[in-house]
């Protein structure tokens, strides 16, 4: 029907042209952004899947960087261990040199002075080798969890455990514990003290320091060094279950055992005295009842001296240095295989991130060839729509000729 009031053909042409323009705009948006999904209306389910994958990719890439940083931390520690290795070799050389009697005491003292300085350098290196304020060489048992981008579960982290690689941890120095009264070096079989009376008496050992400890035990006739060590530690554990104050240390050079008492905290002194209700039979003679008998001044002073002496005990020093080298090698090897493990983990993580990126691309990225074909088709349709709309708009003009 020819009509001048309602141009239905123009309305149809305009509707199709608007639809084609919308599809053409979508193609332009996709090609200009490179994404098939630019908003949730494009593909709601695909958008949700893509965002979850993107989260995993970001976490994995950070995990790979974490592994690389951890390798750097281990390399810092391993480099320091290499220097400590050289120092221990030199110490072993000095100890072997001092064991030869062709050198004078003055010359051996020079060797000891050099060894003391080397021990101090081991302490300095161990205490100052940090990576982002994390130190792998200053304490034993500190764990560092390296997150690999998959969460914090037991199977999703690699743990690095520190070791005390200073002179104390290596057994070549550090805390200096000594007895000021040299005569107090009984052998294991020697009675530490004896009771003049046959009746059982109560004895009290008092450890005076930052935490005073009184240890009471019965003395029937004699007490050996081992029994006194046990009695003291039973008392010190009553104050702190993990605190063993006493230790019997064997000296292979003199074939004697020495009583050593340490304070609970580094830097604090631990003075010990015996108080008895009867006579004490000791190397210096009898003491009156109730009188304090000072055994000696025991110290636990951090960095105050060295535990090995190549001048007076070269054999023991050599043994201690060899043990330190073995301990150092063990931890250095651990640093090495931790780095290898982290490198393997980083490779796997990078592969995971790469494959997830491919999956995310398939979901989210635009197929340029397909989209260009779609855009070309829509351009043709748009041009056809414009042409048809123009002609539809011209049809009512034909009705005027009938009115003419």
Say if domain 52-172+312-354 classifies as CATH 3.40.630.30. Answer: no
What proportion of the chain, given as a percentage, has pLDDT over 70? 69
Buried b (16+ CB within 10 A) or exposed e, 195-227: beeeeebebebbbebebebebebebeeebbbee
Does residue 206 surpass a pLDDT of 70?
no
Does residue 288 surpass a pLDDT of 70?
no
Higher pLDDT, 283 or 23: 23
pLDDT of residue 370: 85
pLDDT of residue 351: 93
Does residue 37 surpass a pLDDT of 50?
yes
pLDDT of residue 216: 62
pLDDT tens readout for residues 298-335: 333 333 344 688 887 888 889 889 999 999 999 999 99
pLDDT of residue 198: 46
Does residue 177 surpass a pLDDT of 60?
no
CA 4 vs CA 16, 17, 391, 398, 400: distances in Å: 21, 22, 14, 9, 9
Does residue 2 surpass a pLDDT of 70?
no
Backbone phi, then psi, for 131, in 5-degree steps?
A: -135, 110
pLDDT of residue 212: 60
Name the residue among 311, 316, 253 with its Cα closest to residue 114.
311
pLDDT tens readout for residues 106-130: 999 999 999 989 998 999 999 999 9
What proportion of the chain, given as a percentage, has pLDDT over 90? 31
pLDDT of residue 253: 63
Cβ–Cβ under 8 Å, residues 145 and 63: no
pLDDT tens readout for residues 158-172: 999 999 999 888 888
Cβ–Cβ under 8 Å, residues 148 and 349: yes
Does residue 153 surpass a pLDDT of 70?
no
Every domain range in the chain assigned CATH 1.20.1330.10:
52-172+312-354
Q: Across residues 165-184, what is the average pLDDT? A: 59
- Range scoring the smallest mean pLDDT among 219-228, 239-248, 376-385: 219-228
């Amino acid at each position: 029907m020819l009509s001048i009031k309602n141009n239905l053909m123009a309305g149809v042409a305009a509707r199709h042209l608007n639809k084609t323009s919308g599809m053409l705009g979508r193609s332009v948006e996709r090609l200009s952004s490179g994404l098939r999904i630019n908003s949730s209306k494009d593909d709601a389910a695909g958008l949700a899947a893509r965002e979850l994958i993107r989260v995993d990719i970001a976490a994995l890439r950070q995990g790979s960087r974490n592994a690389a940083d951890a390798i750097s931390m281990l390399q810092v520690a391993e480099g320091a261990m290499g220097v400590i290795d050289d120092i221990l070799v030199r110490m072993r050389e000095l100890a072997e040199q001092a064991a030869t009697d062709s050198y004078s005491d003055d010359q051996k003292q020079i060797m000891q002075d050099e060894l003391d300085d080397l021990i101090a350098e081991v302490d300095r290196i161990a205490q100052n080798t940090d990576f982002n304020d994390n130190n792998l060489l200053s304490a034993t048992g500190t764990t560092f969890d390296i997150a690999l981008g998959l969460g914090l579960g037991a199977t999703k982290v690699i743990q690095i455990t520190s070791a005390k690689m200073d002179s104390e941890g290596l057994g070549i120095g550090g805390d200096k514990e000594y007895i000021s009264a040299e005569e107090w070096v009984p052998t294991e079989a020697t009675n530490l003290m004896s009771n003049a009376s046959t009746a059982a008496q109560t004895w009290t050992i008092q450890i005076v320091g930052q935490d005073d400890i009184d240890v009471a035990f019965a003395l029937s006739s004699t007490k050996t060094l081992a029994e006194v060590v046990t009695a003291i530690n039973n008392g010190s554990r009553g104050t702190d279950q993990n605190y063993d104050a006493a230790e019997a240390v064997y000296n292979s050079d003199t074939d004697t055992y020495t009583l050593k008492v340490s304070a609970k905290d580094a830097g604090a002194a631990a003075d010990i005295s015996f108080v008895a209700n009867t006579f004490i039979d000791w190397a210096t003679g009898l003491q009156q009842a109730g009188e304090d008998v000072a055994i000696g001044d025991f110290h636990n002073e951090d960095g105050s001296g060295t535990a090995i002496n190549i001048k007076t005990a070269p054999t023991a020093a050599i043994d201690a240095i060899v043990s330190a080298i073995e301990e150092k090698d063990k931890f250095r090897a651990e640093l090495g295989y931790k780095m290898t493990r982290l490198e393997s983990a980083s490779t796997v993580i990078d592969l995971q991130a790469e494959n997830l990126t491919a999956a995310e691309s398939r979901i989210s990225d635009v197929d340029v060839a397909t989209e260009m074909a779609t855009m070309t088709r829509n351009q043709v349709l748009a041009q056809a729509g414009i042409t048809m709309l123009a002609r539809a708009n011209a049809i009512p003009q034909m009705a005027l000729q009938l009115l003419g």
